[in-house]
Amino acid sequence: MSDMKGKVGLITGASSGIGRATAELFAANGAKVVVAARRQDELDSLVAAIEARGGEATAIQTDVSVAAEVERMVDHAIKAFGRLDYAVNNAGIEGRFAPITELAEDEWDQVLGINLKGTFLCMQHEARAMLAAGNGGAVVNVGSINSFLGAATGSAYCTSKHGLIGLTTSVSAELAPQGIRVNLVCPGVIDTPMHRRLREDLGDEVYDQGLLPNVHLRRAGQPEEIARAIVFLCSDEASYITGTTLTPDGGYTLTI
């Protein structure tokens, strides 16, 4: 992996799972990291862990569905470290899975507000900072295998993740002439708090015998495995990759 010393990475949804693993890997590669999420205690724990290993990090509590908070988040990154080179838009929720006839409007709005609108707001302010600096940059949005696949009773979540494909490819085309690369990572079944909740909802038997057999590798992935894909797409090794979708899913989408 490229030496990222002197570079600055911003990661949303960094309090747990893929976001936390990504922040730790950026720091391990020498980048200074700005971590954002709604849970301040978990962010403080992450910053302490990074600093204990000799890294540099700062945290800011952020709700990505609120434009003013997103603007404050990016301003915080610039004030703390003077620049922004990498942005990972990972914040997301699954919301309540319910039949379309029963899903409440506010439930729909909450999922779309964080997963899709939130990514739009983050990209908007991240791009402004990168363009103002004139040093290029790399943005990675985090989708899901549900960026391609529907799921019964999952209309809000799947719609929000499908939308990230159009958002990513459009902004990639727009920012490429200024040297800013934009890509999408779509993880499969990953051992995160969100997927543990899914396992509880499905039950162990359905999860182990109905879901995991569709994964060619016959196991859930680990957050660190997705973090490596994200950090790669930000690195110089991916200098000719933009507007693409990387799907670390253990082969799941090849089966469905």
Domain spans, the chain: 8-255
Q: What's the rounded mean pLDDT across residues 129-143?
A: 98
b/e map 243-255, b = 16+ CB within 10 Å: bebbbbbbebbee
CA dihedral 30, 249, 90, 207 (to 10 degrees): -120
Residue 221 DSSP code: B
Quick: pLDDT tens for 31-57: 999 999 999 999 999 999 999 999 999
Alpha-carbon gap, residue 13 to 33, rounded angstroms: 13
8 Å CB contact between 184 and 246: yes
Q: Which residue has the higher pLDDT, 16 or 198?
A: 16
Residue 96 DSSP code: -
- Computed from CA positions of residues 235, 223, 46, 146, in that sequence, does the dihedral angle turn out positive or negative? positive
Residue 59, pLDDT > 70, answer yes
User: For position 203, what pLDDT does the model report?
Assistant: 80
The DSSP secondary structure of 223-247, one letter per residue, reads: HHHHHHHHHHHHSGGGTT--S-EE-
- The verdict on whether 157 is a catalytic residue reads yes
Residue 235, pLDDT > 90, answer yes
Least confident of 47-56, 111-120, 134-143, 191-200: 191-200
Q: What residues form DSSP beta bridges with 142?
A: 185
Q: Which residue has the higher pLDDT, 27 or 255?
A: 27
Alpha-carbon gap, residue 230 to 101, rounded angstroms: 37
Alpha-carbon gap, residue 39 to 54, rounded angstroms: 23
User: For position 104, what pLDDT does the model report?
Assistant: 98
Q: What percent of the chain has pLDDT over 70?
A: 98
8 Å CB contact between 11 and 34: yes
Candidate list 86, 157, 207, 252, residue with the active-site label: 157
pLDDT, the chain, mean = 95
User: For position 256, what pLDDT does the model report?
Assistant: 63
8 Å CB contact between 9 and 34: yes
Residue 98, pLDDT > 90, answer yes
Q: Which of 244, 193, 247, 174 is nearest to 215 (CA)?
A: 247
User: For position 2, what pLDDT does the model report?
Assistant: 74
Half-sphere exposure of 101 (CA within 13 A, CB side): 0
Q: What's the rounded mean pLDDT across residues 114-139?
A: 98
Quick: pLDDT tens for 163-216: 999 999 999 999 999 999 999 999 999 999 888 887 787 688 877 887 889 999
Instruction: Considering the domain delimited by 8-255, tell me its CATH architecture.
Output: 3-Layer(aba) Sandwich (3.40)
Residue 210 DSSP code: I
Residue 84 CB contacts under 8 Å (≥ 6 apart), including other chains: 8, 10, 74, 77, 78, 126, 129, 130, 133, 137
- Please give the helix or strand (H or E) that residue 8 lies within, else none: strand 8-12
